[in-house]
Amino acid sequence: MKPEPEDEPTQKLETKPRRLYQAWKGNNIFLCGGWLIFGPDAASLLLTTFLIISPTIIFCYQMKSKLYQSNTGQQHMHRAAVLIVIITTIMDMVFLFMTSARDPGIVPRNTRAPPEADDLLLGSNTPSMDWSGGRTPRMRFRRTKDVIVNGFTVKVKFCETCLRYRPPRSSHCSICNNCVHKFDHHCPWVGQCIGLRNYRYFFLFVATSTFLCIFVFVFAWLSVYNQMVDNGDSMWLALRKEAYSFALIIYTSIVVWFVGGLTVFHLYLIGTNQTTYENFRYHYDKNDNPYRKTLAENFAEVFFTKIPPPMNNFRSRVGEGALEAGFYTPYIGLDVTTPREKIDLDRENKEVLIGGMQIPTVLQNIDYGSFEDSSEDKNINQGEKKVHFPSAWAQGNEGGGTSAAAATACNIETSEDDLNEIESPNTTTTQASAEANPEPLGQIDKMEGTLERKS
């Protein structure tokens, strides 16, 4: 039977590539088809909005109630105060939205290891050693590399999550799971990272909040003062009559310490061209700052320069191959090795010394029971009681003559620790070879007898 024609459009829709924001492995929340980018804790915006809107509504209600109780001059002042507070609150909410719903400067991820061959390092095992043991080679990358910024040497780190070296002044946010360019901090009040592309709006949001707190605080005290002057009440009685003003005084006096302190601190950071992360991590206020310019240039860089476009086009289409590969964190060594694998690596890298010589890891994993010595080698081994490992090692080079010479040079001076190391459960391949061929066990027994006679 022929398929129904209605199935063809459905198949086309299913094979249509998805957008990048749908495949993004960060913890961001995307809305409006990827146009709006929030952090994972974007729900905190509701609390922040409530803390801004609530005192504004109370203040406007109080000023409106005083319009009919004051003279003409005070009425104009109250209307102006209400207008200023409303405009400031709207600006504050706009800056809050621009901070939280904007790409802060997310650095693109890589789907595979970086192509720089110079930055590739291998662990203590070479690929041939790993392959001989039936393991996939474990590659490691330099954790840092040096770049020159304004004549200063700056170290940039390799991000094992994003699979790339972070640009200067970038850091990986553990909350959003992204590397952010010119990372300042992750602000829980706006639910977003603060970086290169939203730092300007973050500072304007904090500064506007500070101005709003101070303005409401001053007018709340003016209302209390007018109550004292008009009715001749004491301050305590005036505060009781001006309950809304009293509540606003307490609220704004608490909040202003936080937003005001942030405003002053970030004014200092802007003037010295630092980020919060750099100030606490690198202490640029005490050390040389490679990014510092003149005071005017530092402020112009934040407020009067064009904000760069985002480095990721989250609305772009990605192919199915990219989706299958995904954005993953491979085993890059060091920090991503499981405890079981670390124990195995320690066992594999453990040095086996026989006769003062170190046996390579690749030779420790060989089944020596499968080797058959020639008659000449057997006579040499029986006459001089040599260890089987060096003989087999030398035998693989140039035949029996070389094997005999190498065995003669490696006379037994093995300690009890060496014997325990050979017989330990860690070298499981040696036990397996001994069970397959009893000849090595006989040699080890002879070695133990020799040690007992020497002792």
For 201, the domain range is 20-110+176-322
In a domain, 338, yes or no: no
Contact 176, 100 (CB under 8 A): no
Catalytic: which of 159, 173, 176, 187?
187
In a domain, 38, yes or no: yes
- pLDDT of 216: 95
In a domain, 206, yes or no: yes
Q: Which of 214, 211, 207, 208 is nearest to 251 (CA)?
A: 214
The total domain count for the chain is: 1
In a domain, 186, yes or no: yes
Q: Are strands 120-122 and 36-38 parallel, antiparallel or unpaired?
A: unpaired
In a domain, 169, yes or no: no
- pLDDT of 323: 41
- Structure token digits, residue 412: 């037994």
- Structure token digits, residue 444: 């080890």
In a domain, 417, yes or no: no
Report how far apart the first and last C-alpha atoms of the chain are (Å, whole number). 90
β-strand partners of 358? 353
In a domain, 215, yes or no: yes
Q: Are strands 120-122 and 139-141 parallel, antiparallel or unpaired?
A: antiparallel
- pLDDT of 140: 58
In a domain, 130, yes or no: no
Q: Residue 233 contacts by C-beta under 8 Å, 6 or more apart in sequence?
A: 227, 241
Whether the pTM exceeds 0.75: the reply is no
Q: What angle do CA 57, 63, 68 make, to 5 degrees?
A: 135
Measure the CA–CA gap between 418 and 210, rounded to whole angstroms: 72
Contact 141, 120 (CB under 8 A): yes
128 Cα distance to chain centroid: 32
Measure the CA–CA gap between 217 and 209, rounded to whole angstroms: 12
Residue appearing with tokens 């109250």? 78
Q: Is 162 a residue of the active site?
A: no
From first to last of its 455 residues, the chain has per-residue pLDDT tens of: 455 555 555 555 556 788 999 999 999 999 999 999 999 999 999 999 999 999 999 999 988 887 777 677 778 888 899 999 999 999 999 999 999 999 999 999 988 766 653 445 444 444 444 444 455 455 556 788 889 998 888 999 999 899 899 999 999 999 999 999 999 999 999 999 999 999 999 999 999 999 999 999 999 998 888 888 777 777 888 888 888 999 999 999 999 999 999 999 999 999 999 999 999 988 887 778 899 899 999 999 999 999 999 999 999 988 644 443 333 333 333 333 333 333 343 444 444 445 555 554 444 444 444 444 444 444 444 544 444 433 333 343 444 444 344 334 344 443 444 444 434 444 444 444 444 444 544 555 555 555 555 54
- pLDDT of 259: 96
